[in-house]
């Protein structure tokens, strides 16, 4: 009789679980629906015209615009006839190969520290997120207006200060290279360490969002798990690698993807500047070539995101919440 009751109740329980999952899926689609509508109505037509623009050339003949299909000629011109694009793309990828791991490691390290119980924890969290607030459009506009309203002598002083800062950074990098080379380190490792130290400020400025994401992941870990580890005699090092790191690994994937996209779209990106300069240049079919550059840039970004996501997904730990 007991077995019959159990056999009769199991399908009901499974049905309830399936129904709950369906409700969650529907809620998720409702949140995504506005984006999908905007994507179809606004962005897809723009993307179509952009692709078409990169595959055609437009000329005015007797006051009439004539379009000529050129295939991938604009793409080949972007890669081979305009030397800056390919070189800037390779340089940018090399910089990302250093910046992305450095930002992820730094963000996780700071998040672990800020998650500890200490005096002034909220203030420290705000300090590390402050660069993100300052870099927003509103704050940039305010800073631009303040900069333009200042007198010419102040502007000259600021320009000199910027030049001095760049010279100081270069001098610091050269000094570090000299020191580590004299200690017998390889030239490749020396350049990596020197560029890492010189780019610390940039890493800090770009780590605010990642720190918040890691903090949210750390705070979602149950304190009971850490208490069990402490009772079992686990050290802090063992607890981090066997509990903390696996539990936050899904957010490592999220932060890696976010950092890649942020690196590709930042205003200081050299490739973006090459594309913009090509668009306004006087070379023949410059606007079509810049469109081709943009699509190649997007394809490289998508490929890199896919590779990183595939690699990280193999090592990500997902906690079941049945």
Distance of CA 181 to the CA centre of its chain: 33
Q: CB–CB of 278/82 below 8 Å?
A: yes
CA distance linking residue 319 with residue 322, whole number of Å: 9
Asked if residue 254 belongs to a domain, the reply is yes
The dihedrals phi and psi of 215, each to the nearest 5 degrees, come to: -60, -45
pLDDT of residue 148: 47
- Tell which residue, 230, 251, 250, 249, has the closest CA to residue 239: 230
| Together in a domain, 123 and 221 | yes
pLDDT of residue 131: 61
Model confidence at 300: pLDDT above 70: yes
| Together in a domain, 85 and 46 | no
Among 30, 52, 71, give the residue marking a domain's end: 71
Q: Which residue has the higher pLDDT, 223 or 140?
A: 223
| Together in a domain, 150 and 269 | yes
pLDDT tens for 211-251 read 889 988 888 888 888 888 888 888 888 888 888 888 888 88
| Together in a domain, 31 and 67 | yes
| Together in a domain, 36 and 157 | no
Among 71, 91, 114, give the residue marking a domain's end: 71
Model confidence at 13: pLDDT above 60: no
| Together in a domain, 138 and 281 | yes
Asked if residue 32 belongs to a domain, the reply is yes
CATH number of the domain enclosing 220:
1.10.3720.10
Q: CB–CB of 114/121 below 8 Å?
A: yes
pLDDT tens for 155-165 read 444 444 444 44
Average pLDDT, the chain: 75
Asked if residue 132 belongs to a domain, the reply is yes
CA distance linking residue 82 with residue 197, whole number of Å: 33
pLDDT tens for 144-197 read 444 444 444 444 444 444 444 455 555 656 666 666 666 666 666 666 666 666
pLDDT of residue 155: 44
| Together in a domain, 19 and 155 | no
| Together in a domain, 139 and 169 | yes
| Together in a domain, 171 and 189 | yes
Across the range 32-40, mean pLDDT stands at 87
Among 71, 86, 103, give the residue marking a domain's end: 71
User: H helices within the chain, ranges in order?
Assistant: 2-38, 44-55, 73-76, 83-114, 121-134, 137-149, 152-182, 187-198, 200-205, 208-219, 223-231, 236-239, 245-265, 270-279, 286-313
CA distance linking residue 93 with residue 39, whole number of Å: 28
| Together in a domain, 114 and 263 | yes
Asked if residue 320 belongs to a domain, the reply is no
Asked if residue 318 belongs to a domain, the reply is no
pLDDT band at residue 92 under the 50/70/90 scheme: confident
pLDDT tens for 273-292 read 888 888 887 777 778 888 88
| Together in a domain, 176 and 60 | no
Specify the number of domains making up the chain.
2
Model confidence at 15: pLDDT above 60: no
Across the range 203-213, mean pLDDT stands at 83
Q: CB–CB of 290/278 below 8 Å?
A: yes
| Together in a domain, 303 and 203 | yes
Q: Rounded to two decimals, what is the model's pTM?
A: 0.67
Q: Beta partners for 59?
A: 66
Asked if residue 322 belongs to a domain, the reply is no
pLDDT of residue 127: 67
pLDDT of residue 303: 92
The dihedrals phi and psi of 184, each to the nearest 5 degrees, come to: 95, 10
* Extended beta strands in 42-183, E state: 56-61, 64-69
C-alpha radius of gyration, the chain, whole number? 26
pLDDT of residue 290: 86
- Which range marks the domain in which residue 22 is found? 1-71
């Amino acid at each position: 009789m007991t077995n019959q009751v159990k056999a009769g109740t199991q399908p009901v329980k499974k049905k309830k679980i399936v129904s709950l999952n369906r409700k969650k899926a529907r809620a998720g689609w409702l949140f995504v629906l506005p984006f999908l509508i905007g994507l179809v109505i606004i962005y897809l037509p723009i993307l179509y015209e952009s692709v078409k623009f990169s595959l055609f050339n437009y000329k005015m003949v007797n006051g009439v615009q004539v379009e000529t299909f050129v295939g991938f000629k604009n793409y080949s011109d972007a890669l081979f006839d305009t030397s800056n694009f390919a070189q800037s793309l390779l340089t940018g990828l090399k910089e990302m190969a250093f910046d992305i791991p450095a930002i992820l490691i730094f963000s996780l390290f700071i998040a672990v520290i800020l998650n500890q119980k200490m005096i002034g924890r909220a203030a420290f969290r705000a300090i590390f997120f402050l660069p993100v607030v300052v870099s927003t459009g509103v704050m940039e506009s305010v800073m631009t207006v303040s900069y333009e309203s200042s007198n010419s002598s102040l502007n000259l002083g600021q320009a000199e200060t910027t030049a001095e800062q760049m010279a100081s950074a270069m001098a610091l990098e050269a000094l570090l290279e000299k020191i580590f080379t004299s200690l017998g380190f390889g030239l490749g490792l020396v350049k990596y360490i020197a560029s890492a130290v010189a780019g610390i400020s940039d890493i800090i400025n770009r780590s605010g969002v990642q720190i918040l994401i890691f903090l949210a992941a750390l705070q979602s870990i149950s304190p009971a798990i850490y208490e069990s580890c402490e009772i079992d005699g686990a050290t802090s090092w063992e607890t981090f690698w066997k509990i903390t790191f696996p539990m936050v690994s899904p957010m490592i994937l999220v932060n890696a993807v976010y950092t890649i996209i942020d690196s590709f779209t930042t205003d200081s990106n050299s490739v973006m500047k090459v594309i913009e300069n090509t668009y306004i240049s006087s070379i023949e079919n410059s606007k079509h070539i810049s469109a081709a550059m943009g699509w190649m840039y997007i394809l490289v970004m998508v490929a890199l995101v896919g590779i990183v996501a595939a690699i990280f997904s193999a090592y990500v730990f997902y906690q079941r919440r049945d």
